[in-house]
């Protein structure tokens, strides 16, 4: 009997591992599907990077225990980028030279934009990650990437539509960090506010790393707006803004986008964050229904997870569904086929992680909900229904 070694299998193009049985016979085992990642496991964004990595890891492990995708296990390889674009590019180059990687998770808008020309040139790998940048939600310029939620402009629209529902003609102050991240949704916010009949009475840009916000709080106090919307921050300096505003007797309601809408971060802010309103596409209800939410609770027991964990879990879920559909069609795992499969995800059940059926539109999932932080209960509670964003509202 002739035995085929690994080299022979390689020459035949089978790309499979040899597994020996107790009878001495050899058979081909479907190879693992390798998914790579550049994750900020250290550095300024590590609090989110670790959570995002663990969310994806836990999802892949769960699916592997059930047999994988079409009988193929997922091998998830992540390396620490330290939240630096040059490190992330080096990790991408290294891992894709060592493995066939159909899907790669990035760590930032900067990296996903920097690697985009190479991604398009190769046409072998698609990408998702931590970014909700509006620019990436362009299927023409970024044909090989998806966003695991609404882009920043759509997040701002959810906030503004909530405001319009609460008070007709409400006054709004926009507070944004003076960074590319921070400035992202300003133009879209102005256009949406005008469409809704809301009044943006002040726009404030804060310097990155700014700690003294007293001058900006004075500007807000003079305007005495109904709502203040923050974007471009993770936590600081939002608590300081809110604390000083409360001390000054202001009654404005404070709001923010994805990265500041988080139970763990709000609990760090304490009583000053009570009543804070944020937007997220992920489900923070303690007893949310659905197989995925049940599994997340089973895995984590009493541990409270951040929004980044759900982001990682969702990226993994889209990746798995994309792989499943491509393999079911007997198609090669290349960028064109994978993105065709990703964009075919319509009215999809995420197992409760997103509370309504999910569709990928262009490159994103234009769905969000307003959550209110209750300091006494130390949790976020739903303050609105789920909203799906469209051009007309």
Structural domains in the chain plus CATH codes: 33-149+287-359 (3.40.50.2300), 152-280+369-388 (3.40.50.2300)
Q: What is the pTM of this model?
A: 0.91
- On the question of pLDDT at 3 being above 70, the answer is no
Provide the pLDDT for residue 268.
87
- On the question of pLDDT at 139 being above 90, the answer is yes
- Strands (DSSP E) contained in 221-376 are 227-231, 253-256, 277-280, 367-374
Place of tokens 């591992």: 17
Identify the three-state secondary structure at position 15. Answer: coil
> What percent of the chain is modeled with pLDDT above 90?
84
How many CB atoms neighbour CB 19 within 10 A? 10
Among the residue ranges 226-230, 248-252, 265-269, the one predicted with the least confidence is: 265-269
Provide the pLDDT for residue 28.
57
Provide the pLDDT for residue 9.
30
Residue 143 tokens read as 């044909």
Specify burial of residue 290 (Cβ count, 10 A radius: 0-12, 13-18, 19+): middle
**Residue 334: CB partners within 8 Å, gap ≥ 6?**
102, 123, 124
Query: What value does the mean pLDDT take over residues 226-245?
Result: 92
Tell me the C-alpha distance between 229 and 277, whole Å.
Answer: 9
- On the question of pLDDT at 249 being above 60, the answer is yes
Mean of pLDDT over the chain: 91
- On the question of pLDDT at 97 being above 50, the answer is yes
Report H helices in 211-287.
Answer: 214-223, 238-247, 263-269
Provide the pLDDT for residue 208.
74
């Amino acid at each position: 009997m002739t035995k085929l070694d690994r080299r022979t299998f390689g020459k035949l193009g089978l790309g499979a591992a040899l597994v020996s049985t107790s009878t001495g016979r050899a058979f081909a085992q479907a190879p693992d599907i390798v998914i790579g990642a550049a994750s900020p496991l250290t550095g300024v964004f590590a609090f989110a990077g670790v959570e995002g990595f663990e969310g994806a890891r836990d999802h892949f492990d769960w699916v592997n225990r059930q047999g994988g995708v079409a009988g193929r296990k997922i091998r998830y390889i992540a390396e620490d980028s330290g939240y630096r674009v040059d490190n992330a590019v080096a990790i991408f180059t290294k891992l894709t030279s060592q493995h066939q990687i159909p899907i790669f998770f990035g760590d930032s808008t900067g990296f996903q934009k920097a690697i985009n020309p190479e991604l398009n040139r190769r046409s072998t790998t698609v990408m998702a990650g931590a970014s909700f940048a509006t620019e990436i939600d362009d299927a023409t310029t970024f044909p090989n990437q998806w966003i695991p939620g609404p882009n920043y402009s759509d997040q701002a629209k959810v906030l503004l539509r909530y405001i319009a529902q609460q008070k007709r003609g409400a006054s709004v102050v926009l507070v944004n960090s003076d960074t590319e991240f921070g400035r992202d949704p300003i133009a879209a916010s102005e256009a949406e506010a005008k469409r809704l009949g809301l009044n943006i009475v002040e726009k404030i840009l804060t310097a990155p790393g700014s700690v003294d916000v007293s001058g900006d709080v004075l500007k807000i106090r003079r305007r005495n707006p109904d709502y203040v919307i923050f974007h471009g921050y993770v936590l600081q300096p939002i608590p300081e803004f809110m604390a000083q505003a409360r001390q000054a007797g202001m009654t404005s309601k404070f709001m923010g986008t994805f990265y500041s809408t988080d139970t763990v971060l709000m609990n760090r802010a304490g009583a000053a964050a009570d009543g804070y309103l944020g937007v997220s596409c992920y489900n923070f209800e303690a007893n949310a229904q659905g197989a995925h939410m049940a599994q997340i609770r089973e895995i984590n027991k009493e541990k409270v997870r951040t929004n980044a964990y759900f982001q990682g879990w969702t990226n993994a879920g889209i990746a798995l569904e994309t792989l499943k559909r491509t393999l079911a069609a007997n198609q090669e795992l290349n960028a064109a086929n994978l993105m065709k499969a990703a964009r075919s995800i319509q009215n999809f059940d995420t197992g409760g992680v997103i509370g309504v059926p999910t569709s990928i539109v262009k490159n994103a999932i234009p769905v969000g909900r307003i959550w209110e932080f209750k300091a006494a209960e130390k949790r976020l509670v739903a303050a609105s229904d789920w909203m799906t964003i469209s051009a007309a509202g």
